[in-house]
């Protein structure tokens, strides 16, 4: 009986997490739209190209990181969630690991370019991670 209640609670937590991720995706899409508008306001083509390259670079790194983590621990994590052994702190730690890995992988020049246009790059990276997790889940569980 306790195991069933625990599984129900974990399912509710994961559902809530999915809802939060959906809102995050909407927020990220809005930020990307604003970002595209900002690219039109650059003083010259060189600045615009640097920004576009930095955005493409961080997006690729985020996607690669999320997919790599899923390949390494995805099945175990899913099994742990289904059996009731995974908890929210483990999921949060995994997200923090992904953000740190991405931050260290993006070149310093691209980080500077992104900071000058986005402000808090770490917050943007968190949104990217969440966005890519949702995309991955959608792709895997169609």
The string of DSSP codes covering the chain is -HHHHHHHHHHHHHHHHHHHHHHHHHHHHHHHHHHHHHHTT-SSHHHHHHHHHHHHHHHHHHHHHHHHHHHHHHHHHHHHHHHT---HHHHHHHHHHHHHHHHHHS-HHHHHHHHHHHS-HHHHHHHHHHHHHHHHHHHHT-
**Is a pLDDT exceeding 70 seen at residue 37?**
no
User: How many Cβ atoms sit within 10 Å of the Cβ of residue 137?
Assistant: 14
Q: CA 118 to CA 100: how far, in whole Å?
A: 18
**Mean pLDDT across the stretch 110-129?**
89
pLDDT of 21: 60
- Name every residue whose Cβ is closer than 8 Å to that of residue 97 and which is 6 or more positions away in sequence: 69
Q: What percent of the chain has pLDDT over 90?
A: 17
Across the chain, mean pLDDT equals: 79
Residue of 99 and 14 predicted with greater confidence: 99
Closest to 82 (Cα-Cα) out of 6, 1, 137, 2: 6
**Is the predicted pLDDT of residue 40 greater than 60, yes or no?**
no
Mean pLDDT, range 49-55, rounded to an integer? 89
1-15 per-position pLDDT tens digit: 777 777 777 776 767
Whether residue 105 has pLDDT greater than 90: yes
Question: How many CB atoms lie under 10 A from the CB of residue 55?
Answer: 20
Under a CB-based contact definition with an 8 Å cutoff, are residues 102 and 65 in contact? yes
CA distance linking residue 70 with residue 97, whole number of Å? 13
Section 45-70 average pLDDT: 88
**Per-residue pLDDT at 52 exceeds 70:** yes
Mean pLDDT of 82-93: 72
Share of the chain above pLDDT 70, in %: 77
């Amino acid at each position: 009986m306790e195991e069933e209640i625990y599984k129900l609670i974990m399912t509710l937590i994961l559902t809530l997490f999915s809802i939060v991720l959906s809102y995050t995706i909407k927020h990220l899409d809005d930020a990307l739209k604003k970002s595209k508008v900002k690219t039109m306001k650059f003083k010259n083509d060189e600045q615009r190209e640097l920004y576009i390259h930095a955005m493409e670079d961080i997006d690729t790194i985020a996607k690669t990181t999320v997919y790599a983590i899923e390949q390494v621990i995805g099945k175990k994590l899913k099994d742990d969630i289904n059996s009731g052994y995974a908890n929210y702190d483990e999921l949060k730690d995994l997200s923090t690991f992904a953000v740190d890995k991405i931050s260290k992988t993006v070149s310093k020049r691209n980080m500077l370019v992104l900071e000058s246009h986005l402000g808090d790059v770490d917050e943007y990276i968190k949104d990217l991670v969440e966005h890519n997790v949702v995309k991955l889940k959608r792709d895997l569980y169609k």
